Structure 1
Amino acid sequence: MNDLKNICVFCGSSDGNDAIITRATQELGEKFASQGITLVYGAAKIGIMGSLAKTVLDNGGEVTGIIPGFLKKKEVVHLGLTNLITTKSMHERKLEMQNLSDGFIALPGGIGTLEELFEIFSWLQLGLHTKPIGLLNCNGFYDDLIQLLETMVRKGFLSMENYELLLVDTTVDGLLQKMKDFKAPRIPQWMNEDLT
């Protein structure tokens, strides 16, 4: 059973136009607060990101935001967070998110959300971390992405073992339970060797 004290959530800086996604975001925030899970996220006050952080805070939870300095200057930063960490770059931001988090969830979002999801997914595949990664498939948002991953398996570009590393559920409770039950794969032997 994984102890998920800090979960990083990747999600959109836009609100989108689907009320079911908005409600799922709020439900996730409420669940974090009630279970004592600290939200780690990109520190924005706008979009799904801002809604999630506001819900956690409004329900007495804690939120750590991580943002590169250049985005703070665009006045998108949420200044009411429990903790705010400023990095020099997007890459440093993602490293800090990985270091501070016990697991990761992707809510609906755009290109940035997908980029963050697939980077942390590839790090798990490579054995660079052993933390659970969840995809909250709200109202079929990620159906096409899941179908693409299945195509990658059929075409021989993604192993079934690695495909199954990505935990998918349509409900907040179901996804959190899968993440708690997640058993990381053994790190390949070559990862322990000195490659220099």
Structure 2
Amino acid sequence: MNGAIIQKETSLSDGIYAELKNRLILGYYRPGDRLSMRKLAVEFGTSPMPVREALKRLASEHAIESAAAKAFNVPRLSDKRAADLFDLRALLESAAVEAAHRAMTPDMLDELSALCERMDAHLKLRDFRAYMADNYRFHFLLYRKADNPDMVAMIEQLWMKSGPSLYQGFEKSDVANLDWNLGHKQLLDAIRHGHVSDFGAIMRKDIGWGAEFYRSEAGDV
């Protein structure tokens, strides 16, 4: 009986962890937001135990920080740390897209093209959360074809840490900038024409926007 209870709690914790990770990736939480164990337990309709385990797991991955009164905070990253996260993303994600090229198919290219068109529409409406959701789908559709689960897991952890700051960066922008989608279009063009040697450079430039933005905020550019 005890084993069954533990298994159930673990399953609940895994589901809560996955949902909270998704919220961090998409900027649902902002830097400085407080995540209350009690409020989350009410929201998910569970006891505090699986929520606590999910939050502790996210804290161990440095996606959130432990705070007082059974709560956790979304970190307020310094501009330097935010830029450093995007630099790390660029290194891993350029390698992932290069490794994925052998598994790319015409159907996959059609799906990527549709996502790219939707991202243009989201940017025109300044619907940054919808843009971030399709941006995630675009990138990870590619990365999962790299046949390297450890690399994909590391990239997802970086997206968890950078998601809240990325959303905040979009909100700070004065006008919708369709150049945020330019890298995706360039990558699609390179895929169509078989220019594999360009994949990594295009991805590094696409992700480099985040590093450049936060370095300019810190006055380093």
TM-score (norm 1): 0.27
Which has the larger share of strand?
A: 1
CA radius of gyration, larger in: 2
TM-score (norm 2): 0.25
Tell me which of the two structures has the higher relative contact order, counting C-alpha pairs closer than 8 angstroms and 6 or more residues apart.
Answer: 2
Which has the larger share of helix?
A: 2
